[in-house]
Each structure stands twice: as structure tokens, then as C-alpha cells.
Amino acid sequence: AQKITQTQPGMFVQEKEAVTLDCTYDTSDQSYGLFWYKQPSSGEMIFLIYQGSYDEQNATEGRYSLNFQKARKSANLVISASQLGDSAMYFCAMREGGGSNYKLTFGKGTLLTVNP
Amino acid sequence: SQTIHQWPATLVQPVGSPLSLECTVEGTSNPNLYWYRQAAGRGLQLLFYSVGIGQISSEVPQNLSASRPQDRQFILSSKKLLLSDSGFYLCVYRGTPYNEQFFGPGTRLTVL
């Protein structure tokens, strides 16, 4: 079974509108973390936002917010006021374990296209 | 701050040829380092990780191997490349305090 599921291979949004990218995860660990990364066409991976499993409040970083619903095991990324530069692949990832057992598993990604 | 270097940036190799990709990290000591591969249209697959010199863990059986000859150097190798080895290879350093992973610029490998 997949540990990270991103059900939207591609998404389109109009400039200045908000968009939600879906991510569900599967783990039996009590302590874990969830990340979102952005990958532009240049290939670099850019860290966007992090949510710990024990964090009670949803993480926010500028125009990015993470809608964390622990019971549903979902960690959706919300981008407000989309910009043309937001067009990129977006990956959801989950951290499990610690020390030498630390693992980061990625979803297959969502390609976001922002239309002018 | 930490910096991750990868060399080379792009590589085109024939099937059956050897491979050596290098990753070096600056600004930290005893980092946890990871090799990921991103195949076209797919997510990132963890290949190897290392918690210290000479310590390598392999995630999936494959045609590749990794070595950690120095604290801040991580090398990905192959004796004979396959077509399926084509992809974008990313070296990653595990950061603190959130354990987020910082990615190097990547090496785009094409096997013909």
C-alpha cells in the first residue's frame, strides 16, 4: 500500500485564486511529520512547509498553509492568491522513524499550472 | 548554512558503462545523507542512505551501489548502467530542527 497518496496528477488554477492540493498518508507511527516540496521545471526541490503529528495548529508559511486532519490522515496544501511562479510539481512527503531509521517517503506529485 | 554540491549536473552514458555521481556537503559535520532517484513522471524513490562514514543502507535491490568514503562525501556508483537507470538523481541532507531534507541541485542521467 502506498504511504503517501496524491490523487491529483494535474491541477489548474487562475492567477490570484486559491488552490488546494490533496495528500493522504498511511502510517502506524504516533510520531511523524509531513512536508510539502515544490519542484519547478529546473528540477530543484524547494521546501515549503512542515507539520508535525503532535502540532495542534495547522502550519502556515506565507501564502502556504497545511490543512492537517489527523483523524482522516490528510495533509492538504493550500496556496492562497496563486501566482504564475507557483506553476510547478508539488510533492507531499512523510517522515517516519528517527535516528538511523529516519525515512522520508514521497507521493507521486501534482503538477500545478497557474493560468493568467 | 549548509550547502550541497552534486557533480556532474547532466550525464549521458551508454548502456553497460560505469557510473560515478558525487555529492559533497559543506557547513555541517556527520550529516545523514540520502540518494533519491526521480524517474520521468514519477515521484522520488529513496535508493540509499548513510548515517556516517562507511555506513550505507540500501532501500531497494538494484543495479546501483553507494559509498561514504568521507564524512561529507556520498558517492553513487554502478559497474554497468541499464536503460532503467535513467532519471534525476538527488543527494539530500537531513536538516534540523524539523528533520526536513535539503536537496542538492541534482544530476540528470540519460542512459542510451
Residue A5, pLDDT score: 94
Long-range contacts of A81-87 (CB under 8 A, 24+ apart): A81/A16, A81/A17, A81/A18, A82/A13, A82/A14, A82/A15, A82/A16, A82/A17, A82/A18, A82/A19, A82/A114, A83/A15, A83/A114, A84/A15, A84/A114, A84/A116, A85/A114, A86/A38, A86/A112, A86/A114, A87/A40, A87/A112, A87/A113, A87/A114
CA distance A42 to chain B (A): 9
Identify the contact set of chain B against chain A, taking CB-CB distances under 8 A.
Answer: 32, 34, 36, 42-46, 49, 51, 57, 88, 90, 94, 98-103, 105-106, 108
Which residues on chain B are in Cβ contact (under 8 Å) with A47? 100-102
The alpha carbon of B10 is separated from its chain's Cα centroid by a whole number of angstroms, namely 13
Taking phi over 0 as left and psi of -120 to 50 as alpha, with beta for the rest, A104 belongs to beta
Which grid cell is B3?
550547502
Residue pLDDT, tens place only, A33-92 = 999 999 998 888 898 999 999 988 999 999 999 999 999 999 999 999 999 999 999 999
Tens of pLDDT, residues B42-60: 788 889 989 889 999 888 7
pLDDT of B94? 81
pLDDT for A113: 97
Counting residues of chain B whose pLDDT is more than 90, the rounded percentage is 65
Task: Show which residues on chain A lie within 8 Å of chain B, measured between beta carbons.
Answer: 4, 33, 35, 37, 43-45, 47, 50, 52, 91, 93, 95, 98-100, 102-109
pLDDT at B51: 87
Model pLDDT, residue B2: 67
Nearest chain B residue to A90, by CA: B43
Is residue B96 predicted with pLDDT exceeding 70?
no
Looking at residue A1, what is its pLDDT?
Answer: 60
